[in-house]
Amino acid sequence: MIVGFDYGSSNCAMGVLEQGVPKLVPLENGKPYLPSTLYAQHNSLIVDYVAKNLARGELADTYVSQRKGLLAGIPAIRSDLDLANNESGIYIGREAIDEYIEFPEEGFYVKSPKSFFGATGLKPEQIAFFEDIATAMIMAIKTRAENHLKHSLSHTVIGRPVNFQAVGGEESNQQAISILTKAAQRAGFKHVEFLYEPLAAGIDFETSLTENTKVLVVDIGGGTSDCSFVQMGPSFRENHDRSNDFLSHTGKRIGGNDLDIALSFHKLMPQFGLGTQMKSGLPMPHPLYWQACKINDIHLQSEFYSDTNHRELTRLLRDVEQPNLLSRLIKVLENKQSHQVVRQGELAKIGLSEQSTHHADLSFVESDLMQLIEHHDLSDAINDSLKQMVNLANDAICAAGTRPDVIYLTGGSAQSPLLKQALQQALGDIPMLNGDNFGSVTAGLTKWANKIFK
């Protein structure tokens, strides 16, 4: 059976074609969108989960051989965790979030793993670990979809950003594609293809066009922002090769997660000492707080949670004017609560789209600790990120050498009034249409998969 698969930075979704219409498959509690999160009671259990769920054959034999050292220690780990034979110790989606919130310091938690796949400087063992994370997630998602559909899934088109990273170029893209391809194959897909996410959203939109139209698709996802300038309409939609219809592509690793991080840094980190002074009169170093917030940067998070950083922060306690604030940051480090802090930034961003003020709840760090955030705080915090997103759209138009007839907005953060205002100010009075915030990409991937595999 054929599916379109949006392995997104914020959410995962799968779609199938029913009587010519894309239908999203329920993946969690009857809902089609599953948060892109994984929690493991121990990181080695991810390898155990993959090994146990691989279909027998050469692929499984090779995998077990490659992970032989890690697999040898699994019985002792399972015994220490008191896991029953039917317990994997692995959680995905909202269950992963719940487990992390309850046991932040005890297990391994990752949000938006796709954001790391193109990271530069990864060692072979780190690449292998991300392959295992992706495989475990895709295995679990595929199994849920198959149980609902009562069919095995063999063919898929997976969405991909134009660029997985701001740096690294095509080498980063190929690294990420390799990780996803291996993961999908290990999960049981026999045929795997990829399609640019903004183009997938455009293909879904194209179905409604009655005349040929130059469309700039602006897709602001959780981890990346992508623009595709495409010729669409009745003269183009039946083409199996759309390369001649693309006028330009631009993309960058900046998305909704970066807006959450920026707001958390500027408005929440002052509660942890940002902006205060040392007794010497020098300001508290900013990098400490970026490390705490940058949950989508594996290197900065490793530095923040390192023993060296813990010793340095503890040493700084006697040199700062407000040690009570720095003590909160140390507690975030010790309890591995960076994700919880940034989650409050995300909730503030969402809340401020409908109201002028929001109270961020930081009581998981200290009883009754709250932070008031106002709408102008959001605007100030994310202004630089919005400029980068607008520049991508402008670059796509310049590269195409023509003006779009319409801008089609899709992705979780593309509906932000602040983004729309910034686009209009920069690009002028081009009509803007809203797509399904999350479903457009999956629907387009589903249509394209059924076109190329049939």
Confidence (pLDDT) at 447? 95
The pLDDT of 280-307, averaged and rounded, is 92
Tokens of 371: 């932070």
User: What is the architecture, at CATH level 2, of domain 2-189?
Assistant: 2-Layer Sandwich (3.30)
In which residue ranges of the chain is CATH 3.30.420.40 found? 2-189, 212-255+387-433
- CA atoms in the 13 A half-sphere facing the CB of 120: 9
On the question of pLDDT at 436 being above 80, the answer is no
What are 104-119's pLDDT values in tens digits?
878 999 999 998 999 9
- Between 243-247, 331-335, 389-393, the lowest mean confidence (pLDDT) is in 243-247
State the angle between helix axes of 94-102 and 338-351 in degrees (0 to 180), rounded to the nearest 10.
120
272, amino acid identity: F
Dihedral (Cα; 139, 143, 149, 155), 10-degree rounding: 30
- Between 104-108, 317-321, 422-426, the lowest mean confidence (pLDDT) is in 104-108
CA angle 74, 7, 223 (to 5 degrees): 105
Confidence (pLDDT) at 166? 65
In this prediction the pTM is 0.85
CA distance 132 to 49: 9
| Percent of the chain clearing pLDDT 70 (strictly above) | 99
On the question of pLDDT at 82 being above 70, the answer is yes
CA distance 135 to 40: 14
Confidence (pLDDT) at 169? 83
Average pLDDT, rounded, for the chain:
93
* Contact between 125 and 188 (Cβ < 8 Å): no
Confidence (pLDDT) at 239? 85
Tokens of 235: 């003269």
What are 194-205's pLDDT values in tens digits?
999 999 999 989
What are 342-384's pLDDT values in tens digits?
999 999 999 998 899 999 999 999 999 999 999 999 999 999 9
What band does 93 get if pLDDT is binned at 50, 70 and 90?
very high
CA 104 and chain centroid, separation: 20
* Contact between 250 and 399 (Cβ < 8 Å): yes
What band does 2 get if pLDDT is binned at 50, 70 and 90?
very high
CA distance 73 to 67: 11
Confidence (pLDDT) at 162? 87
On the question of pLDDT at 240 being above 90, the answer is no
CA distance 125 to 187: 20
On the question of pLDDT at 142 being above 80, the answer is yes
Confidence (pLDDT) at 431? 94
- Where is pLDDT greater, at 163 or 47? 47
What band does 443 get if pLDDT is binned at 50, 70 and 90?
very high
- Where is pLDDT greater, at 62 or 169? 62
Phi, psi (deg, nearest 5) at residue 123:
-80, 160
- Between 30-44, 112-126, 160-174, 390-404, the lowest mean confidence (pLDDT) is in 160-174
* Contact between 233 and 197 (Cβ < 8 Å): no
The pLDDT of 157-166, averaged and rounded, is 88
What are 263-276's pLDDT values in tens digits?
999 999 999 999 99
- Where is pLDDT greater, at 435 or 215? 215
3-state secondary structure the chain: CEEEEEECCCEEEEEEEECCEEEECCCECCECCEECEEEECCCHHHHHHHHHHCCCCHHHHHHHHHCHHHHHCHHHHHHHCCCCCCCCCEEECHHHHHHHHHCCCCCEEEECHHHHCCCCCCCHHHHHHHHHHHHHHHHHHHHHHHHHHCCCCCEEEEEECCCCCCCCHHHHHHHHHHHHHHHHHHCCCCEEEEEEHHHHHHHHHHCCCCCCEEEEEEEECCCCEEEEEEEECCCCCCCCCCHHHEEEEEEECCCHHHHHHHHHHHHHHHHHCCCCEECCCCECCCHHHHHHHCCCCHHHHHHHCCHHHHHHHHHHHHHECCHHHHHHHHHHHHCCCHHHHHHHHHHHHHHCCCCCEEEEECCCCCCCCEEEEEHHHHHHHHHHHHHHHHHHHHHHHHHHCCCCCEEEEECCCCCCHHHHHHHHHHHCCCCEEECCCCHHHHHHHHHHHHHHCC
On the question of pLDDT at 167 being above 80, the answer is no
What band does 437 get if pLDDT is binned at 50, 70 and 90?
low
Conformational region of residue 135, where left means phi above 0, alpha means psi within -120 to 50, and beta covers everything else = alpha
CATH class in words for 212-255+387-433: alpha beta
Residues in CB range of 83: below 8 A, 6 or more apart = 41, 89
